[in-house]
Amino acid sequence: MQPAVGVVLGSGLGGFADAVEEAVAIPYGEIPGWPRSTAVGHSGTLVLGHFGGAPVAVMKGRAHLYEGVPPAKVVFGVRVLGRLGIGSLVLTNACGAIDPSLQPGRLVAISDHLNLQGSSPLIGPNDDTLGPRFPDMSDAYDPEYRALAGEAAGRLGLELGEGVYAAWLGPAFETPAEIRMIRALGGDLVGMSTVPEVLAARHMGIRCLALSCVTNAAAGVSPDPIDHEQVLEVGARAAGDLVALLREVIPRLGSS
């Protein structure tokens, strides 16, 4: 089976993998070179199968820069999926909302990003077999895929916003001053993942759709402290909506 669509599941969102049909699950530990995820809420399994008729490869669990995994290793899985032949990649994540109108549980399609992680998986000698030295990032978050996701959300009666995702190195959550800075820079959402994977995928010419689940108000936006348990809990509650949305969208990505 050659997968057409890759899916990366973020914190608390692993439930989607259970909906994959004819699934073959391979623990990351059995795949040479694949980094093991140490983050709580991330199991480490590659699930190959079908979803809504489309051949898919699902990464249940991802590596993050804050784990101390080198940038090129963080994107090892995405590059494997690229080599397996995916043309589309759907990335999910949990995020904090800087825009106070985005309540916990809301799903948001990422429209663009700010890379504030101080690193990139593309640094170092370029592997020309993967892609060009200076890849374009103008439409990193595919406008056609975002439109498909918006239409699918409409059919399901789900509200799907759009926003700019700022990638923070972590592992500490941001300070309120850092959130004010990110807001001034144009960020609507903040998280610690996704951007390295999108850089690697776009480098290989893979079209990306990234869906964030708001799990909390960003630091200082609400007076409450940020708690990783809440991030996982809210993510798990929103997972049903996310699976419904993915079920609508994924079969259309393979063919568009």
Greatest CA span in the chain, whole angstroms?
Answer: 50
Q: For residues 248 and 246, what is the distance between their CA atoms, to the nearest angstrom?
A: 5
Site for ligand HPA (CB under 6 A): which residue of 67, 174, 188, 241? Answer: 174
Nearer to ligand HPA, 6 or 187 (CB): 187
Residue 167 touching ligand HPA (CB under 6 A): no
Least distance between ligand HPA and beta carbon 162 (Å): 18
Residue 45 touching ligand HPA (CB under 6 A): no
Nearer to ligand HPA, 174 or 248 (CB): 174
| Helix 76-84 with 195-203: angle, nearest 10 deg | 30
Backbone angles phi, psi at 238, to 5 degrees: -80, -10
Residue 16 touching ligand HPA (CB under 6 A): no
> Stretches 36-44, 58-66, 91-99, 239-247: which one binds ligand HPA (CB under 6 A)?
91-99
134 exposure class (CB count in 10 Å sphere: 0-12, 13-18, 19+)? exposed
Residue 153 touching ligand HPA (CB under 6 A): no
Cis amide linkage into residue 171, ω under 30° from 0: yes
Contacts to ligand HPA by CB under 6 A: 94-96, 168, 173-174, 190-192, 215-216, 218, 226, 231
